[in-house]
Structure 1
Amino acid sequence: MEQTSVKYGKGFRVIAGNSRSQAAVMVIEPGGREGGKDNFHKDSDQWLYVESGTGEAIVDGHTHALRPGSLILIAHGERHEIRNTGNDPMKTLNFYVPPAYTRDGAERPAGKAE
């Protein structure tokens, strides 16, 4: 069993995980963005939950509004970008199945366990 507390800081940080799934937190400042037209996870699905703030997710060219309580699934291979369109930091809790990143936040090559 693994247990941790969700604490938001700056940027992106992996907070827990094992060989089959992982959790990470992300804070995007007002006007900021993460990802882009070439951003996708080769093998991992990403669940993104918005804790606070507002923004939008652009997934395979389609724009979806994000607000506190929003939960979206970005399937592996879907190109995506997350934008903060509000005036406050947008805090998200993310789950990747299987893990998409190493413990230090580097992107994991497809099919490679840590």
Structure 2
Amino acid sequence: MQRKSLRFGKGFRVAFSVRRAQAAEMVLAPGDCEGDEDNRHRGADQWLYVVSGTGVATVEGRRVPLKTGTLLVIEKRERHEIRNTGRTLLKTLNFYYPPAFDGEGDPVGPGREH
């Protein structure tokens, strides 16, 4: 068993990984984005849950509005960008299957970005 209290400080932070899954928190300031038209995880699905804030996800060119309570699955190899379009922090909890990042937040293994 692993347990961690999430802080949701600015930026991307891996919480921990177990076997074939990983949890991470991501916080974007108003106007900031993560990813771009070439961002994708080669071998990992990303489950993104919006804890608070508003934004938009662009997945394979399709815009998806994000707000508190939204759950979005970005499948492996799908190009995507997450952008904060609101006036407050966009806080998300993300799960990767399999793990896509090391403890420093750098892409690793089969989930690494292409």
Q: Same fold (TM over 0.5)?
A: yes
TM-score interval for Structure 1 and Structure 2 normalised by the shorter chain: over 0.9
Identity, % of aligned positions: 52
Q: 1:5 deviation in Å?
A: 1.2
CA distance in 1 between counterparts of 2:6 and 2:69 reads: 16
Greater than 6 Å deviation, 4+ residue runs: none
Aligned residues: 112
Quote the Cα distance in structure 2 between the aligned partners of 1:84 and 1:9. 15
User: Which consecutive residues of structure 2, in runs of 5 or more, have no partner in the other structure?
Assistant: none
Shift of 1:50: 0.4
- 2-side partners of 1:64 and 1:55: how far apart? 9
User: How far apart are residue 6 of structure 1 and its match?
Assistant: 1.7
Q: Are 2:108 and 1:108 equivalent residues in the alignment?
A: yes
What TM-score, normalized to structure 2?
0.94
Q: TM-score, normalised by structure 1?
A: 0.94
The 5 Å alignment of 1:1-114 reads 1-110=1-110
What are the superposed Cα offsets for residues 22-75 of structure 1, whole Å, 9 maximum, x if unpaired?
A: 000000000010000000000000000000110000000000000000000000
| Unmatched 5+ stretches in structure 1 | none
